[in-house]
Amino acid sequence: MSLARAPRYLDRRPQILDAAESCFTRSGFHRTTMQDVAGEAGMVPGNLYRYFSSKDALILALIERDRAEIAADFAALGGTGDLMGAFRTLGHRHFIEKPREKAVLTLEIWSEAARNPAIAEVMGGVQAEVRRGIIAVCEKARLKGDIPDQVDLDAVARLILTLSDGLIRRKALDPDFESETEVATLLNLIGAVLCGSISLTPCVARIVSL
């Protein structure tokens, strides 16, 4: 009787998520009403519930969409053997190309993750994936002899994560933040660390002497 039929109408989910992204960026999760999202999506509030079971589900779906995007970027990263080129590409894509609004939304997600375990879990997943991606691509470079043995790749990965997060916060909130300059500086720094020009694990004597 009931045939598996192709959806008669458009799938409204992407459209709703786009609307939600605008609203959440503009007003934050909690100041955004379902009425706002519906208005932005060109429909009526009740109808949102056909696609997302609750406001929380909507938030979560939005975050998961971002996650998928990041994951895709990292899949592409492993390909080439050009380590710094890969980092430069990623840096460009994530900190220069993307508008400030994305950074603002990320801040929102962070503050939400501190309380919503579902969001925390998604974020943890991204984090782990990015970290593994960084280490993997570095290890490939090490096999080619580009990275000295004494460089602690795990520490490098943590450093990059820290720098990335710091950049996001500054991009979102510092009025005179200059993406290009900042990214260039930090790529430079990372390059130097990977070269072994400085070690992340203490070479205490020199430092203490300062």
Partner DNA sequence: AGTTGACGAATGAATGTTCATTCACTAATT
Partner DNA sequence: AATTAGTGAATGAACATTCATTCGTCAACT
- Residue 96: contacted member of DNA, its own copies, none (CB under 5 to 8 Å, by partner type): none
Cβ burial of 158 (10 Å; 0-12, 13-18, 19+) is middle
Site residues for DNA per CB under 7 A: 2-3, 5, 7-10, 12, 31-36, 42-50, 54-56
Among 14, 42, 124, 148, binds its own copies (CB under 8 A): 124
- Residue 7: contacted member of DNA, its own copies, none (CB under 5 to 8 Å, by partner type): DNA
Q: Compute the distance between CA of residue 118 and CA of residue 28 in angstroms, rounded to an integer.
A: 18
Q: Compute the distance between CA of residue 49 and CA of residue 121 in angstroms, rounded to an integer.
A: 24
Contact call for residue 136 and its own copies (CB under 8 A)? no
- Nearest one of 158, 67, 56 to 106, comparing CA atoms: 67
Q: 27-56 mask for its own copies (x: CB under 8 A)?
A: xxxxx-------------------------
CB atoms under 10 Å from CB of 52, counted, come to: 21
List the interface residues with its own copies, window 64-123 (CB under 8 A).
Answer: 83-84, 104, 107-108, 110-115, 120, 123
- Residue 32: contacted member of its own copies, DNA, none (CB under 5 to 8 Å, by partner type): DNA
Q: Compute the distance between CA of residue 99 and CA of residue 93 in angstroms, rounded to an integer.
A: 10
HSE-up of residue 63 (Cα within 13 Å, Cβ side): 26
Identity of the residue, 9 or 181, whose beta carbon is nearer to DNA in the bound complex: 9
- Nearest one of 100, 106, 95, 77 to 181, comparing CA atoms: 95
Q: Least distance to DNA from the beta carbon of 61, Å?
A: 13
What are the structure tokens assigned to 65, written together? 């969409």
Q: Compute the distance between CA of residue 113 and CA of residue 94 in angstroms, rounded to an integer.
A: 20
Q: Least distance to its own copies from the beta carbon of 114, Å?
A: 5
Contact call for residue 143 and its own copies (CB under 8 A)? no
Identity of the residue, 15 or 191, whose beta carbon is nearer to its own copies in the bound complex: 191
- Are the beta carbons of 71 and 126 closer than 8 angstroms? yes
Contacts to its own copies by CB under 8 A: 26-31, 83-84, 104, 107-108, 110-115, 120, 123-124, 127, 141, 146, 155, 158-159, 161-170, 172-175, 182, 184-189, 191-195, 197-203, 206-208, 210
